Amino acid sequence: MAVAIIRILNNSPTMKFIIGDVLIIIFILFITRLPQSFSTTEAIQPSLTRLDSKRLSPSVQESAAKAVLGRLLPTHLLSFHFKIVSKDVCGGQGCFLIENYDGPTENGPEILIKGTTAVEIASGLHWYIKYFCGAHVSWDKTGGVQLASVPKPGSLPLVKDGGVLIQRPVPWNYYQNVVTSSYSYVWWDWERWEKEIDWMALQGINLPLAFSGQEAIWQKVFMGFNISMEDLNDFFGGPAFLAWARMGNLHTWGGPLSKNWLKQQLVLQKKILSRMVELGMTPVLPSFSGNVPAALKTIFPTANITRLGDWNTVDGDPHWCCTYLLNPSDPLFVEIGEAFIKMQIKEYGDVTDIYNCDTFNENSPPTNDTIYISSLGAAVYKAMSNGDKDAVWLMQGWLFYSDSTFWKPPQMKALLHSVPVGKMIVLDLFADVKPIWATSSQFYGTPYVWCLLHNFGGNIEMYGTLDAISSGPVDARISKNSTMVGVGMCMEGIEQNPVVYELMSEMAFRKEKVQVLEWLKTYTHRRYGKSVQQIKEAWAILYHTVYNCTDGIADHNIDFIVKFPDWDPSINFGSRPSKLNSMHTFRLRTRSRRFSFQERSSDLPQAHLWYSTHEVVSALKLFLAAGNDLAGSLTYRYDLVDLTRQVMSKLANQVYLDAINAFRRKDVKALNIHSQKFIQLIKDIDVLLASDDNFLLGTWLESAKLLAENPSEMRQFKPLLDFDWNAAEVIFILCDSMNGMLERK
């Protein structure tokens, strides 16, 4: 067709003069529609160069890395020498080098570790103690460190001639989810944060989310728009619910935030950012997504502010739900967004150019018109760039999965192309299960980070997709026209399934796929400090069962013992709808809003199961048989308790269904037997978990109490801890269920 048009134009003397211009325009349009992947590296290179220029001096970073070593292995502080090197040494990439120290080693350094930043040096240290000393590092709550295998100073293993060079295949290693703050670290003090940042550095994380303390920044910004503290008390959620208040899902619930809390969290955030920057990390700060206090609508009556619908809050009560959103198309949006970015820079200094914003996360635009969507995206970015001219927008790609019926290719392109090339990075949040890059032509040329989501709601279900983790990032990076610029871990809750996060962290430094079974053999040796045959066999089973989920279902840990009684057998007997029925309906509505699940055609409740329970029981027996060889190992004890809990939970699921079937048969004796078994299993699991304080609720409660600095805060935090708010409702539901059963007997 194009050839025919050109022939017509050529036959017209008048048109010959403009044909050149027409072809140029067609060529330009064609080029702009080409995937931008060929220039992805070039597109983000200015940002990388600029961020490199912000880094602190080599001496500061070397000292920061040395401090990590001092906290991890204080006995070996003199055994290592650290040195910052330029990227030129690493072929233009981030890297670390491990070499034998060339110089006097008596009572001095034995190993030299070089890195392009302190993070790379810490990663090199971790790599060395893992693969040369057989050591292991995980969260304290998942067993902690195993360092007994590290030889004494003066006896450290030498590396091969020429040393070890490990390059990053992609520039960034991202960490955290916008809700991790509430699920995992809401009550953390600086001591716990320092441990976490050390863990990040050892894992090679160089792009961490840094969301703490933002309410203190918002207080200053909104007061500049005549919003009072009383108005903000109605806007901010309480400490444990800040993640959802920040996203506009609720307001007020659990609040208000005390002056002490606001001050305390701002001081904490400054310490967090200072340590991250010392280590050469690039923090990701929050930006304005449009969530505003209700009072802003009164102060600016002509502003385009709408009230959102209920997001699964208590009975849809407007006192808690239905927050207000300022439309990005309104000039006030840019004004507030700019003020917020500038206030952060004023408080924290020039620590980053990367800002997170998720205006459309579980909140679709009012129309699917692509021009409108593009204008909204441009306004969001303008608010950032007006505050920081070098701003880069980091956006969670969750919306393209959770609301795929709205975000079709034209709408995706409109949003992704609404900002300059290289000024947006998308987190392919659920790439371990539902990769969007593969179905969107590499996010239509937009740079993205391949992310592991893995955990929903901070649940501790044993679960993983090790094969996907070991190959997914490599497949994405080497795919045609790849725009991948990083890997990331975006779990909603941390401190669970340590094997998953150790493997995922390594993918930030691996160019080739990992042979998981072989890797697990070295992993178990490191984790427990020795090689035990039963443990090897047990982990081979776990790899093919628990840690090889391929069914694509997102919701895990829906075992019956951790759920409210939300299924009423009476629905099969034609009786009146009960409160249980309404609660069951509500739970399903909540679930469908958040995930796309595979529905099962069964009138019985279904717990997610993707493996053979018999095989996992065999793995547990092997674990138990290894007890004599691993006595005293905290990592072994954690894994043993966790695996036993997993097995007992799945057994409880079957016992529960046996009780339901007995009820349907009107077999009172069998119902009583199975009901008692179910209750006993709950008690047994409780006793089991009490044997390891890493599984105790008390650690969470105690951390909250320690963070309260006055009686007022103690009174505020206490209801959150004792669950008084929900106790009466749960008791009512339980009684309603039991009475219904007894009546039918």
One domain for residues 201 and 335: yes
Q: Evaluate whether residue 380 is within a structural domain.
A: yes
Residues in the chain: 745
CATH of residue 683: 1.20.120.670
The pLDDT score that the predictor gives to residue 16 is: 38
C-beta atoms surrounding 611 within 10 Å: 19
CATH of residue 246: 3.20.20.80
The pLDDT score that the predictor gives to residue 734 is: 34
The pLDDT score that the predictor gives to residue 605 is: 74
DSSP state of 571: G
How far is it, in rounded angstroms, from Cα 497 to Cα 142? 8
HEC assignment per residue over 445-488: HCCEEEEECCCCCCCCCCCCEHHHHHHHHHHHHHCCCCCEEEEE
Of 489, 430, 491, the C-alpha closest to 458 is: 491
C-beta atoms surrounding 599 within 10 Å: 9
Q: Evaluate whether residue 269 is within a structural domain.
A: yes
How far is it, in rounded angstroms, from Cα 109 to Cα 66? 12
SS3 of residue 37 by DSSP: helix
Q: Evaluate whether residue 579 is within a structural domain.
A: no
One domain for residues 558 and 463: no
The pLDDT score that the predictor gives to residue 321 is: 86
How far is it, in rounded angstroms, from Cα 446 to Cα 408? 16
One domain for residues 186 and 157: no
Q: Evaluate whether residue 51 is within a structural domain.
A: yes
Q: CA–CA distance from 138 to each of 57, 82, 166 (Å)? A: 29, 23, 21
Domain that holds residue 652: 517-566+607-695
Check if the beta carbon of residue 249 is closer than 8 Å to that of residue 323: yes
Question: pTM for the complete prediction?
Answer: 0.88
One domain for residues 457 and 426: yes
One domain for residues 50 and 96: yes
Choose one of 658, 674, 695: the last residue of a domain.
695
Check if the beta carbon of residue 547 is closer than 8 Å to that of residue 466: yes
The pLDDT score that the predictor gives to residue 730 is: 30
One domain for residues 95 and 236: no
Q: How many domains does the chain have?
A: 3
One domain for residues 303 and 395: yes
One domain for residues 468 and 504: yes
Choose one of 470, 488, 514: the last residue of a domain.
514
How far is it, in rounded angstroms, from Cα 113 to Cα 98? 5
- Quote the Cα angle for 557-593-597, to 5°: 50
The pLDDT score that the predictor gives to residue 606 is: 80
The pLDDT score that the predictor gives to residue 32 is: 37
Check if the beta carbon of residue 251 is closer than 8 Å to that of residue 245: yes
Choose one of 676, 695, 714: the last residue of a domain.
695
Residue 614: its H or E element = helix 613-625
Q: Evaluate whether residue 282 is within a structural domain.
A: yes
- Residue 395: phi, psi to the nearest 5? -125, 135
Of 77, 83, 151, the C-alpha closest to 113 is: 83
Six-digit token string for 491: 């779990």
One domain for residues 188 and 125: no
One domain for residues 156 and 184: no
The pLDDT score that the predictor gives to residue 718 is: 60
The pLDDT score that the predictor gives to residue 699 is: 84
How far is it, in rounded angstroms, from Cα 413 to Cα 441? 10
Q: Evaluate whether residue 390 is within a structural domain.
A: yes
Beta strand ranges found along 345-434 (DSSP E):
354-356, 392-396, 424-428
The pLDDT score that the predictor gives to residue 314 is: 65
Q: Evaluate whether residue 24 is within a structural domain.
A: no
- Quote the Cα angle for 298-299-305, to 5°: 60
Q: Evaluate whether residue 521 is within a structural domain.
A: yes
One domain for residues 430 and 529: no
- Secondary-structure breakdown of the chain: helix, strand, coil percentages, each rounded to the nearest 5: 55, 10, 40
The pLDDT score that the predictor gives to residue 592 is: 36
- Quote the Cα angle for 432-178-212, to 5°: 140
One domain for residues 494 and 368: yes
How far is it, in rounded angstroms, from Cα 450 to Cα 470? 12
Would you put residue 680 in left (φ > 0), alpha (ψ -120 to 50) or beta? alpha
CATH of residue 56: 3.30.379.10
The pLDDT score that the predictor gives to residue 103 is: 82
How far is it, in rounded angstroms, from Cα 555 to Cα 492? 12
Which portions of the chain are predicted below pLDDT 50? 1-38, 572-601, 720-745
Six-digit token string for 699: 């650690």
- For the chain, the straight-line distance linking the first and the last C-alpha, in angstroms and rounded, comes to 78
Task: Collect all residues with Cβ–Cβ distance below 8 Å to 195 and sequence separation of at least 6.
Answer: 71, 140
Alpha helix segments (H runs only) across 279-330: 295-299
Of 376, 406, 483, the C-alpha closest to 438 is: 483
The pLDDT score that the predictor gives to residue 570 is: 54
Q: CA–CA distance from 233 to each of 251, 336, 708, 709, 721 (Å)? A: 9, 19, 18, 19, 21
